[in-house]
Amino acid sequence: MEQVAVGIRELKARLSHYLAQVKAGATIIVTERGRAIARIMPEGEPWAIRLRELMAEGILDWSGHRLRPMMPVARTKGQTMVSELLLENRE
C-alpha cells in the first residue's frame, strides 16, 4: 500500500487529486509543519488486511490469539478508590 505525505495547504489545493489516490488504495498522511497529524485511508478496508500490513511493516507484533484478562495492578481495602488515595498522597 502506497503512503503519501502531504501538507495541509497542498491537500486543500489539490484535494480531488489526493482523494483519487485514496480511491486507488493509497494512504495519505496529512502533515502540519512536518509532523503527521492525520491519515486518510480508503473506506471499508478490511481490518485483517490492515493488520497484516502493520505486521509486515514491523509496527505490530501479534500472535493472533485473544488477550487474556489482566489482574488489576493495585487494589485497595474498603471503598476507597486508588485515584482518591493518589490525590490524598499529593497533598
Given this model, what pLDDT does residue 36 score?
94
State pLDDT tens for residues 15-52. Answer: 999 999 999 889 999 999 999 999 998 887 677 777 88
Measured from the Cβ of residue 18, the count of other Cβ atoms closer than 10 Å reads: 19
Query: Cα dist. 45→30, 42, 48, 62, 77 in Å?
Result: 19, 6, 9, 19, 47
pTM here is: 0.50
State pLDDT tens for residues 52-79. Answer: 888 888 888 888 788 788 877 767 777 8
Q: Say which residue, 75 or 10, is predicted with more confidence.
A: 10
Domains in the chain (CATH in brackets) are 1-61 (3.40.1620.10)
Cell 495547504 -> residue: 9
Cα–Cα nearest to 18, from 34, 39, 45, 47? 39
> In this structure, what are the phi and psi dihedrals at residue 42, rounded to the nearest 5 degrees?
-60, 140
- The grid coordinates listed for 63 are 500472535
Per-residue confidence band for 80, with pLDDT thresholds at 50, 70 and 90? confident
